[in-house]
Chains A and B, each alone.
Chain A
Amino acid sequence: MKRLTVLSFVLLGAILMSACSSAATRGSSWPGLSADANNAYLANGQYIYAARLSDGSKLWQYPDKAGAQEFFAKPLLTPDGQLIIGSTGTDQGLASLDPATGKEKWPTPFTGAKDRWITSPLVLDNVIYAPNGDGSLYALNLATGELLWSLPIGGPLWGTPVTDGKLIFLTSLDHFLYAIDPRSQKTVWKMNLGGSAADSPALSIDKTTLYVGSFGSKVFAINAADGSLRWTTNTNTWVWSDPAVNNSNVFVADINGQVYSLDASSGKNFWSNIIPDGPITGSPLLTADGVVVATESGSAYSLDHNGKVLWSTSLGGKIYTTPVASGNLVLIAPLGAQYLLYAVNEKDGSMLPWHFDGK
C-alpha cells in the first residue's frame, strides 16, 4: 500500500513535469505545406501527408506509424521528382520520398546533423543545401543523400536558402544574413539585420536585390552581389516571415498583424494601416489580384494592390504557415482547427467542399 502511494506520487509528478517540459524538445507543431498541380504535401505533427487536390483524399502518409519524429519543414519537391523532408525527432533525419507513393528513395536518410530541420532545403545543380538548427549548412548529393560537405554558419538556421544561381543566401537566428559561395564553401559577405531572422530572404525578379525582415523590426533591401544596403524600412514589431516580391512591391507582415506594401526601389510603405485580425507569421502569397495573408486568429484575407479586403474566410485554429497556391486554389494549413488542410478559391475565397483531415 505504501509502495503504491509512493508510486502514485511519482507517476503524478511524471505526468505533471512531462506536461511542463514537453515544449522544450517536442510538441508545439508548426505545419509546413507545399503543392504541385495535383497534390498537396503537408508536414503536420508526426506525419507527412499527401492529399489529392481534386477531392481531398489521402494518397499516403509517412511514416506508417507515428514514431519519435515530428515534421515542421515544408516538404520540398525537387526538379528530379523527389520530395525532401526533414524531421525534428531524435534522429533529425533528412529523407527523400517518392511523391507518388511516400516510399523512401535514398538508401538511408541523412542523420548527420545535430539539431532539428525547421525549414526545407534548397536544390542547386544537383546538390541539396540544407540549413539545420545546429547552425550548419549541409550540402548533400541530390541523388543519394550522401554528405558532400558542411559549413558551420552561426546561430540556428530556420530559413530556406535562396540563390541567384551563383551564391546561396541564408538567414540565421544569430542576426545575420549570409552569402555563401558553394564552390569555395566560404562566406562571401554577411549583413547584420539587428535581430534574428526566422525565415528566408526573398530575391527580386532580376535576382540583384535581397529583401529580408528581422526581429529587429526592420525590412532590409540588400545588394545581392556585395551585401551593401540599398534601403531599410521600420515595421511596428518583429517580422517573422519572408517577404513576397513582385516587379514593383515588397509585401511583408509583422507579428502584430500589420501588412506592408513597400516600394521595391525605395522601401516607402504604400499601405498605412492594414491590420487584418491577428498576428501574421506566414508570408503573404502573391496572387493576380494582390496578396493573400493568413492570421494566427485562423482567418485568411485577400488584399488587392491598394490593401482593400477582397474577401476573407475564417477557418478556425491558428494559422502560422504560409498559404500555398496550386492553380486557382489557395491552400491553407491551420494548427488546431477541425481539419488539417483547407482549399479556397483564389478569386472569391469560397471554400472547396472537401477538407483534409489526414484520415
Chain B
Amino acid sequence: MWDLIILNPFTNVLLWIYNLIGQNFGVAVILFTILIRAITWPLNAQQLKGAKVMQDLQNDKEWLDIQKKYAKDREKLAQEQMRIYQERGINPFASCLPTLIQFPIIIGLYQSITRALAATPLTLLQLARSIYPFMNAAGIIPLNSHFLWMDLGRPEGLPFPGGFTVSFLPYGFPTLAIIVAVTTYLQTKLTLPPSTNPNDQTAAMNSMMSIYMPLFLGWLVLNYASGLAIYFVASNVLGIVQYAMMGRVNWRNLLPGGNRPVPSNARKNK
C-alpha cells in the first residue's frame, strides 16, 4: 500500500524529472525537493500560522496567570486552557496536523531517493518493479549518480592530503556532512520564533533541537548515500527561503544571545 500510494509515484516523478533535465540526478533531487516543497506550501503555511498562535499564547498574560494559579491543579488548569482555546477560537493541534500530514511525504521523498539510487542488485530489482511501464526503465538505468565531485550513491568525502586516513572517516573529509550540519543549524536558528517568556518550555526545547538536529543529520550523512545529503541541503535552503518569503525569518537569532528570551514588558517599552 505504501509503495503503491507514496513510494512508487514519488520514484517515478523523480525519475521523470531526471530524464527531463538530461539525466543529472543531483539536479533532479533538488528540483524534486522544490516540487514537494511547493505542493506542501499550504500545509507549511498553516503549520507556521498555528505555531505562531501557540507561541503568542505562551506569552499571553492571562495564559501565564492561569499557569501560576493552577500550577498544582492539573485538571483545573486543563479546563482553563480549553476555555481560552474556545474563547479565542484557537485549535491547539493546528500546527501539529499539517506536520503529521507532511511526515509521510517527507519519508516518501527520502525513500524514493534511496530507491532510485539502487546501488545493489536487490535494490535495483526493486527499482525495476517500481518504474511505470511508460517510463522506459531500460533506458534510464543505470542512473548517472555523479554530481559535482560526488557519487550520489555513496557517502561523500574528499581525500585527505597526502593519503592521510582517519579511521572514523573512511570516506575522507566529510564536506557535505558539514554543509548539511551548517544549513540545518541555520534553518533551525533562523526559524525559531522570538520568545518573551523565560519559562517558555517550547522555546527551550527548540533551542536544544537547534544543536542536536544538525549534529544528528551531519552524522547520518557521514554514513549514507550523498544523494540524501543533497536533499537535506536543498530542503534546508528552501525552508529558509520559504520562511523568509512569509516574513518569519528571525535574523536576530544568529547573533550571540539573539534568541535569549526578552521579557514582554521590555519589548513593550521599545
Bound-complex Cα distance A297 to B123 (A):
17
Known: A2-B204, A20-B114, A195-B138. A116 touches B119 (CB 8 A): yes
Bound-complex Cα distance A115 to B123 (A):
16
> Contact partner of B138 among A30, A118, A155, A217, CB < 8 A?
A217
CB pair A72–B216 under 8 Å, yes or no, is no
Interface 9-mer from B18-26, B91-99, B217-225, B262-270: B217-225
Bound-complex Cα distance A119 to B133 (A):
29
Q: Per-residue CB proximity of B208-242 to A under 8 Å, as 1/0?
A: 11001100100010011101100000000000000
CB pair B138–A28 under 8 Å, yes or no, is no
Tell me the residues in window 135-182 of chain B with beta carbons closer than 8 Å to chain A beta carbons. Answer: 137-139, 141-142, 151, 153-155, 170-171
Count of A-B contacts judged by CB separation below 8 Å? 108
Residue of A nearest to B136 (CB): A195
CB pair A24–B142 under 8 Å, yes or no, is no
CB pair A10–B201 under 8 Å, yes or no, is no
Name the prevailing secondary structure of the B interface residues: helix
> Contact partner of A24 among B119, B125, B213, CB < 8 A?
B119
Bound-complex Cα distance A28 to B123 (A):
7
CB pair B115–A6 under 8 Å, yes or no, is no
Tell me the residues in window 180-208 of chain B with beta carbons closer than 8 Å to chain A beta carbons. Answer: 201, 204-205, 208
Q: Per-residue CB proximity of A3-34 to B under 8 Å, as 1/0?
A: 10111011001101110110111001110000
Known: A21-B225, A91-B170, A118-B120. A10 touches B212 (CB 8 A): yes
Tell me the residues in window 15-65 of chain A with beta carbons closer than 8 Å to chain B beta carbons. Answer: 16-18, 20-21, 23-25, 28-30
Known: A2-B208, A215-B141, A238-B138. A158 touches B121 (CB 8 A): yes
Bound-complex Cα distance A114 to B171 (A):
10
Using Cβ atoms and an 8 Å threshold, which residues of chain A touch B225?
Answer: 21, 24-25
Q: Chain B nearest CB: distance from A318 CB in Å?
A: 9
Bound-complex Cα distance A216 to B136 (A):
9
CB pair A24–B121 under 8 Å, yes or no, is no
Name the prevailing secondary structure of the A interface residues: loop
Q: Chain B nearest CB: distance from A255 CB in Å?
A: 7
Tell me the residues in window 176-217 of chain A with beta carbons closer than 8 Å to chain B beta carbons. Answer: 194-196, 198, 214-217
Given contacts A25-B223, A118-B121, A215-B138, 10 further A-B contacts (CB under 8 A): A6-B209, A21-B228, A24-B117, A24-B153, A25-B119, A28-B121, A29-B122, A158-B121, A194-B138, A215-B141
Can you spell out 21 A-B residue pairs with CB atoms less than 8 angstroms apart? A6-B205, A10-B213, A18-B220, A20-B111, A20-B114, A21-B224, A21-B225, A23-B122, A24-B225, A25-B225, A88-B120, A116-B119, A118-B121, A156-B142, A173-B142, A195-B141, A198-B121, A215-B138, A238-B138, A281-B125, A320-B122
* Interfacial residues, chain A to chain B (CB-CB below 8 A): 2-3, 5-7, 9-10, 13-14, 16-18, 20-21, 23-25, 28-30, 72, 88, 90-91, 114-116, 118, 133, 155-156, 158, 173-174, 194-196, 198, 214-217, 238, 240, 255, 281, 320
